[in-house]
Chain A
Amino acid sequence: MEKLLLLLHTEDDGSLRRQSLEALTSAKETAEKIGADFYLGIVGNGAKKSTELIGNCGAKSFAVLEGNDFSVPRYSTDKSAALALIKHFAATVVIAPNTSRWARALPGATFQAGGRIDTRVTGIATDGGIQIQRWYYRQRMLATLSRTQRPWVILIESGIFKAWEKVSVQVNVEEVSAELKPEMKRTESKGYENASGGEQTIKPDAPILFVAGAGYMKKQSDGKTHVKEAEELIKKFLKLSGASLGSSKSLVEAASEGAEVISIMTHMNQVGQTGSTPRHQKGLSTCCHGEEPHVIGWRFINERRAVNTDPNCGWAQGKTDVLYVADAFEVMTKLNEKWGQKWGQA
């Protein structure tokens, strides 16, 4: 019989992010389907208090690990904390959200526990034991697999399961401690920085992804470039629509090549094979060719539309639902006008 542990961490402010609540749903559903109990372990600042938020989740028991040394993300201490909880429950299967914190630390914890890990998991099936689904070759093929080794640590991607509806209930919580060797404190956190230096443009929870491509930097029909104008159009659209900003590789790379650039764009905005694979309901691409290494990053964008002056661009090859053959400068100018008149800011 499997012993299933849901392993969460709090945010630095003691809250639980949506992705953790999604992992909770997946752990609960998996446990029910395989007829096992599930246990809940939480690491981080305010971990004990956070159990109250999800006290209704039906976990068989709760354990936490908190304290100054575990309050901010750090490989060594997060690894030690996760290992302590895995051992505490003698877990055979561990489900955890694929956050940056756990993606960094859980491979090490799994190694120390003598287990195996799968990251970026996009589905769990339970016919004849647990099977997981994950993508290989950067979203180019989907595999279903199972493992014999235990503990088996499974990191679930966001947006796969519904977030658990929190109902505050007080529960009994055990406090667990972890090994803390002096060398685990060699690294010190200095806090967070916005990658773009200014306003936050990457919004994982936004319904819309707006992608800008290198076309915005190219000479237009009047023989001139209009980069500043493009920047204003993009900024205005983001403000009005609340969309998350994505980019092609060519556009973000223009900065390191010394060209006049769109200042709000960084490498973190890049979508694609060597960029991110964000999850949004809708995606609008403008001035981007839609080449395969870029479109790979659109795997989890459900509805897609593109604006390009070239009717034979990559998007036309079955990569978008609608391709508008038009000048993105004109379209975005009018789109902003219309949106502003009708709804104002999102």
Chain B
Amino acid sequence: MSDFQIVVCGSLVPDPLQTLEPLSGATAPSLKNEMMLPTILDPWAAHALYEAANLAKKNQGSKIYLVSLGPKGKLQQLMMSVAQKVGFELIAIDGSASGFTEPYEVSEVLASAIKSIPNLDMSKLLLFGGCSSASRDAGVTMQLVAERLGISDFFLGVDELIIEQDGKLTFKERVEAGQYLVSTCSAPPVAVGWSTGTLPVPPNNPQLGMMNMRGVLPALQKAKSVKVSAEGVAYSKVEQPSQRRDTRIVKDTPVETIVQELVEWLRS
């Protein structure tokens, strides 16, 4: 058994049920009513957090840090629900969580926040995050954070991490055509971009939430303000293509007729 320092990078994204509308800006685009949109913890980063909690439970003495870059007020709202799921220490950074910021800049902010964790022990470090965000959807930030921290082993699209008897770490990464690439790394530090993982979403635990919030609120208060943008990037157009199709609704029709139509379509 080992004790790990698990650092999870994850921030907020607009609730997936929201309709989003882009707005052009002087430097980068933004979303209409961005500050008003309900948000959730970025789904794949959330899975990373649940996997971290599970590992910490199985490996006594482990500690979880959640490093979040986002507008402070919105982070506070988000933490009310996230804090009820698993125990963690929050490291908050006050800045944009927009999908139109540049991972190069975001990774610099995240890496510097991670470096400031007191007594950070690289030989125990598991750096977790999602395999890509539901905002930028690039799958790049975690590699850049790893590079900035000097971590040489990175795994993308991980569904399973097994801690072997001898302390080695075995990863199953999603690759093409429904397969896993299975690899074993000798020891931490490692960086992981999680996919869905294997765990259900933990139920809300209000008691845990209250305990977490005691640390979360001061962390939010001392959150450093940073400016992240997308230097060197010129967005010439951002559009929301029409998604509506002219749906033909076929009802009160014998199954034979439907099947005939389907067969002709599928075979054409």
Contacts and interface: CB of A to CB of B under 8 A. Distances in A.
A and B form one complex: yes
Interface stretch (A85-93, A167-175, A228-236, A267-275): A267-275
Interface in B150-164: 152-157, 159
Contacts, number: 267
A3 interface: no
Interface residues of A, number: 96
Residue among A104, A107, A184, A324 facing the most chain B CB atoms (10 A cut-off): A107
B138 to A, nearest CB: 5
Contacts of A307: 258
A146 B234 contact: yes
Contacts of B179: 192-195, 200
B17 interface: yes
A136 B99 contact: yes
Contact of A144 (B172, B173, B237): B237
A320 B262 CA distance: 14
A103 B245 contact: no
Interface in B44-92: 44
A181 to B, nearest CB: 8
A219 interface: no
Interface string A182-195: 01101111111111
A147 B233 contact: yes
Nearest to A203: B177
Contacts of B174: 100, 195, 268
Contact of A74 (B172, B183, B235): B183
Interface string A313-346: 0011111111111110011001100110011000
Given A111-B147, A256-B199, A311-B251, A321 B99 contact: no
A305 B265 contact: yes
Nearest to B197: A267
B177 A284 contact: no
B45 to A, nearest CB: 11
Contacts of B252: 325
Nearest to A74: B183
Nearest to B17: A292
B181 A192 contact: yes
A316 B245 CA distance: 9
Contact of B182 (A149, A189, A318, A325): A189
Interface stretch (B113-121, B129-137, B205-213, B217-225): B129-137
Contact of A137 (B134, B186, B234, B251): B134
A106 to B, nearest CB: 8
Contact of B245 (A241, A293, A304): A304
B267 interface: yes
B167 interface: no
Contacts of A189: 181-183
Contacts of A323: 247-250
Contacts of B156: 75, 100, 103-104
Contacts of B204: none
A201 interface: yes
A118 B138 contact: yes
A338 B256 CA distance: 9
Contacts of B155: 75, 104
A143 B185 contact: no
Given A241-B266, A325-B250, A120 B137 contact: yes
A100 B157 contact: yes
A321 B138 contact: no
B91 to A, nearest CB: 22
B249 A116 contact: no
A18 to B, nearest CB: 11
Given A120-B138, A187-B153, A144 B245 contact: no
B47 to A, nearest CB: 8
A192 B266 contact: no
A143 B29 contact: yes
A153 B250 CA distance: 47
Nearest to A334: B259
B235 A140 contact: no
B165 interface: no
A111 B102 CA distance: 13
A75 B154 contact: yes
Interface in B164-210: 170, 172-187, 195-196, 198-200
A184 B249 contact: no
30 contacts: A104-B157, A104-B173, A108-B146, A108-B147, A116-B232, A136-B99, A137-B31, A137-B99, A137-B135, A138-B16, A145-B233, A184-B152, A186-B152, A190-B184, A192-B182, A201-B178, A253-B200, A257-B200, A267-B196, A268-B159, A268-B178, A270-B196, A284-B266, A315-B247, A319-B243, A324-B253, A324-B262, A330-B255, A334-B256, A339-B263
Given A136-B238, A141-B239, A143-B29, 19 more contacts: A75-B154, A136-B137, A140-B20, A141-B238, A187-B184, A190-B170, A191-B181, A193-B182, A194-B179, A195-B179, A268-B159, A268-B178, A274-B134, A274-B196, A311-B249, A315-B247, A326-B255, A327-B255, A331-B258
Interface of A: 73-76, 99-101, 103-104, 107-108, 111-112, 116-120, 131, 135-138, 140-149, 181, 183-184, 186-196, 200-204, 208, 241, 253, 256-257, 266-270, 273-274, 282, 284, 291-293, 296, 303-305, 307, 311, 315-327, 330-331, 334-335, 338-339, 342-343
